[in-house]
């Protein structure tokens, strides 16, 4: 008889759980119970993290776990994640799972989607157990203008994180304000959009849920930073797939031109196991060599690429430690056989736009906003809510909940109603922008003789990846003595 094993939900990776399941030291029924208990303990009580919008019926998921335990014993596992509890971001449609999809908006509360997202179906077919839906940032910047000392910066973020300007990350009308499990005192209401007290966004709840032991893995989407940024603030690993590879149907896309999906987890191996499900046949695991030998890194200078103060204020107590730890980590990987080109040269997005005379990421985001919102609303059973204008009107009619005094703006949505770009300019402009950004990335890699570009997690690199359509990931590095928040690399 196999001995029983105590699972620490705060530290256990999905691969740890797989090994315990394979050896019979734990069952999927036991795991589901442990993670549901942790959610009940700290989502609305205890630490009051507000990371979850909904949880599945315990009876339903426990029965699913029992069936998967039996199947494992009789036939073996379907995948490396067979019988593993996971959480989906609440913009992935899951009607047959018994979980509604709100994208954090009261406009969708109580409505029924017409079909499951392929992402959800693939994960269930691989034996994953969806135990709930995570909270998210319902607003941020989808075509926002921010300024550094030299450049105007356009950024694109999804409706989940795209409602208005001048707000903090991690708030939704349905789920409330998400809190970091690491920052004492919680989110400072006077902090900037992604200030050091915030969990970042838009996948704030997914990242916090992973860190707080609500599930070993969470799956979400990203247009521009929505996976990697909150993962860094949660001390987690993450990966956004190449744009166009992952089927995004049935999700609230942050932008058809930039969106993809991927995991946040406690290890690189766990992220690989998710991508092997979302993109079968790619064999991502073959790249897990566990060796730095021969890897060539182009490292971007922190101060050059650091967030502008409008996103996160420069804070010497944080910045000094962060830069030192990054440099120490680079020296460490060099000692393990990596080659590092310091202060590698990569044009910023404004520099690319100026040099190649491209449209901006913000212009692309504004033009596609009405389309992606209408496409998503069309998945639900409310004929009165079908367009961007319908959503703007709903928010005004429910201003006390959707536009409270501390989260008052939906300017981004309203700007989408005033877009005057033609479809022809959109498609030609997007193609030119993507080609130009890819050229800049390849030039950086060639000049640095590098395989990968790396920099601080407190930078605008995700915008480069979004425009190029390239994958991007994050790696944790440690914790800041400034306020306890994690720090990491992109």
pLDDT digits (tens, 9 = 90+) for 179-188: 999 998 999 9
Report the alpha-carbon distance of residue 113 to residue 93 in Å, rounded.
6
User: Do 262 and 306 sit in the same domain of this protein?
Assistant: no
Averaged over 419-437, what is the pLDDT?
Answer: 97
The answer to whether the Cα torsion of 90, 94, 97, 99 is positive or negative is positive
Q: Are 155 and 147 spatial neighbours (Cβ–Cβ below 8 Å)?
A: no
Residue at a domain's end among 270, 287, 304: 287
Report the alpha-carbon distance of residue 351 to residue 151 in Å, rounded.
8
User: Do 363 and 468 sit in the same domain of this protein?
Assistant: yes
SS3 73: helix
User: Do 410 and 273 sit in the same domain of this protein?
Assistant: no
Query: In this predicted structure, what is the pLDDT of residue 318?
Result: 98
Q: Does 202 have pLDDT greater than 70?
A: yes
**How many helices and strands (H and E) does the chain possess?**
16, 15
User: Do 370 and 310 sit in the same domain of this protein?
Assistant: yes
- pLDDT tens digits, one per residue of 50-81: 999 999 999 999 999 999 999 999 999 999 99
Report the alpha-carbon distance of residue 427 to residue 410 in Å, rounded.
26
107 exposure class (CB count in 10 Å sphere: 0-12, 13-18, 19+): buried
Averaged over 269-288, what is the pLDDT?
Answer: 95
- Count CA atoms within 13 Å of residue 189 on its CB side: 3
Query: In this predicted structure, what is the pLDDT of residue 3?
Result: 64
Averaged over 270-274, what is the pLDDT?
Answer: 98
Q: What is the domain-level CATH number for residue 18? A: 3.90.1300.10
With respect to residue 2, please indicate whether it lies within any of the assigned structural domains.
no
Confidence of residue 407 (pLDDT cuts 50, 70, 90): confident
Query: In this predicted structure, what is the pLDDT of residue 201?
Result: 86
- pLDDT tens digits, one per residue of 143-174: 333 333 333 445 444 444 444 455 678 999 99
Which structural domain, as residue segments, surrounds residue 443? 296-489
Report the alpha-carbon distance of residue 82 to residue 85 in Å, rounded.
9
Q: Does 109 have pLDDT greater than 50?
A: yes
Joined together, the tokens standing for residue 282 give 């790619």
* Domains contained in the chain, number: 2
310 or 127, which is more confident: 127
User: Do 30 and 125 sit in the same domain of this protein?
Assistant: yes
Query: In this predicted structure, what is the pLDDT of residue 151?
Result: 39
Percent of the chain with pLDDT over 70: 93
Report the alpha-carbon distance of residue 374 to residue 318 in Å, rounded.
42
Query: In this predicted structure, what is the pLDDT of residue 320?
Result: 97
Confidence of residue 255 (pLDDT cuts 50, 70, 90): low
User: Do 126 and 261 sit in the same domain of this protein?
Assistant: yes
User: Do 251 and 360 sit in the same domain of this protein?
Assistant: no
pTM of the model: 0.94
User: Do 316 and 464 sit in the same domain of this protein?
Assistant: yes
User: Do 258 and 360 sit in the same domain of this protein?
Assistant: no
User: Do 98 and 181 sit in the same domain of this protein?
Assistant: yes
Query: In this predicted structure, what is the pLDDT of residue 332?
Result: 97
Three-state SS annotation for 322-341 = HHHHHHHHHHHHHHCCCEEE
With respect to residue 394, please indicate whether it lies within any of the assigned structural domains.
yes
With respect to residue 389, please indicate whether it lies within any of the assigned structural domains.
yes
């Amino acid at each position: 008889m196999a001995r029983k094993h105590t699972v620490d939900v705060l530290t256990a990776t999905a691969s740890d759980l797989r090994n315990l399941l394979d050896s019979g030291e734990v069952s999927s029924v036991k795991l589901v119970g442990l993670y549901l208990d942790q959610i009940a303990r700290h989502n609305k009580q205890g630490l009051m993290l507000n990371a979850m919008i909904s949880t599945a019926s315990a009876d339903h998921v426990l029965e699913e776990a029992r069936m998967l335990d039996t199947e494992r014993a009789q036939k073996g596992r379907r995948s490396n994640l067979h019988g593993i509890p996971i959480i989906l971001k609440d913009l992935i449609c899951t009607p047959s799972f018994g979980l509604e999809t709100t994208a954090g908006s009261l406009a969708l509360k109580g409505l029924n989607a017409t079909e499951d997202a392929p992402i959800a179906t693939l994960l269930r077919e691989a034996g994953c157990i969806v135990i709930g839906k995570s909270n998210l940032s319902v607003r941020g910047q989808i075509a926002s203008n921010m300024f550094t000392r030299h450049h105007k910066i356009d950024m694109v973020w999804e409706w989940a994180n795209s409602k208005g300007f001048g707000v903090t990350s991690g708030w939704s009308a349905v789920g409330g304000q998400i809190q970091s499990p690491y920052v004492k005192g919680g989110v400072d209401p006077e902090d900037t959009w992604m200030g050091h007290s915030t969990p970042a966004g838009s996948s704030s709840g997914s990242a916090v849920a992973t860190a707080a032991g609500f599930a070993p893995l969470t799956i979400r989407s990203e247009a521009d930073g929505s996976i990697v940024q909150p993962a860094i603030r949660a001390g987690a690993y993450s990966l956004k797939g190449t744009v166009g590879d992952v089927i995004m149907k049935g999700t609230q896309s942050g932008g058809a031109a930039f969106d993809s999906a991927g995991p946040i987890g406690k290890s690189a191996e766990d992220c690989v196991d998710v991508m092997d499900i979302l993109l079968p046949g790619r064999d991502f695991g073959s790249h897990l060599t566990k060796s730095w030998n021969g890897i060539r890194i182009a490292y971007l200078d922190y101060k050059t690429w650091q967030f502008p103060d409008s996103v996160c204020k420069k804070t010497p107590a944080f910045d000094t430690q962060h830069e030192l730890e990054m440099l120490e980590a680079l020296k460490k990987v060099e000692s393990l056989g990596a080659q590092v080109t310091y202060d590698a040269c990569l044009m910023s997005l404004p520099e690319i736009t100026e040099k190649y005379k491209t449209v901006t990421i913000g212009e692309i985001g504004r033009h596609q906003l009405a389309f992606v919102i209408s496409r998503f609303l069309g998945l639900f059973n409310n004929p009165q809510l079908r367009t961007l204008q319908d959503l703007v009107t709903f928010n005004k009619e429910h201003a006390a909940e959707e536009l409270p005094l501390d989260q008052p703006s939906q300017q981004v949505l309203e700007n989408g109603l005033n877009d005057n770009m033609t479809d022809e300019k959109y498609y030609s402009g997007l193609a030119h922008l993507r080609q130009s950004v890819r050229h800049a990335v390849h030039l950086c890699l060639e000049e640095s003789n590098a395989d990968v570009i790396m920099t601080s997690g407190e930078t605008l690199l995700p915008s480069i990846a979004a425009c190029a359509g390239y994958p991007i990931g994050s790696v944790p590095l440690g914790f800041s003595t400034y306020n306890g928040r994690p720090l990491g690399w992109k």
